[in-house]
Amino acid sequence: KTDAIPGRVNRLVLEPTRLGVYNGVCAEFCGEAHAQMGFRVVVVSEADYAARVAAEAGPAVVLDHPGRPLFMQNGCDACHAVRGTEAKGAVGPDLTHLGSRKTLGAGLLPVTAENISRFVRETNHTKPGVEMPAFSTLSEADAAAIAAWLGDLT
């Protein structure tokens, strides 16, 4: 266990001995959403890891999709980056390859269009304490279009 102290950087090194998926939970009370801070460690071969790093280094495959302009028009690009687009935000998570991820919101939900849409419209209900404002004024159709575009980013 390592204490998380504001302003201090901790380094944690894990040396896996077996391939597989391992689940963990946060062991330090760190705020409002502490109980939801689970994580997965996926141990893969060095070749698989190198391939994943190479794939993630480039821009997303960005399709012409109705959700893309809605993402920009609603200001999502002010906080979030999507490499290969004009979205260059640096405050929120980089969403470049969101569609290739397994989970959303630090492991809270599986990545599905429905969960992305819910996260966008009901942010604090989905992940209490998150700094992202809820976009509850977005119509369900617009939120679904944004979510579908983000879910297609691989």
Q: What percent of the chain has pLDDT over 70?
A: 95
Instruction: Spell out the alpha helix ranges (H) of the chain.
Output: 46-57, 67-73, 113-121, 123-126, 140-152
Domains and CATH numbers, the chain: 59-152 (2.60.40.420)
In terms of average pLDDT, the best of 7-16, 29-38, 112-121 is: 112-121
Which residues fall within 8 angstroms of residue 67, CB to CB, at 6 or more apart? 145, 146, 147, 148, 149, 150
Residue 128 has a pLDDT of 79
Backbone phi and psi for residue 105, each to the nearest 5 degrees, phi listed first: 65, 50
CB 42 within 8 A of CB 52: no
Give me the pLDDT at residue 43, please: 96
Q: How far apart are CA 138 and CA 114, in angstroms?
A: 14
Task: Convert the pLDDT of each residue in 40-89 to its tens digit.
Answer: 889 999 999 999 999 889 888 877 899 999 999 999 999 999 999 999 99
CA atoms of 117 and 141, how far apart (whole Å): 9
Reply yes or no on whether the pLDDT at 27 is more than 80: no
- Can you read off the two tokens belonging to residue 27? 């062991």
Looking at residues 99-113, what average pLDDT do you find? 89
pLDDT tier at 30 (50, 70, 90 boundaries)? low
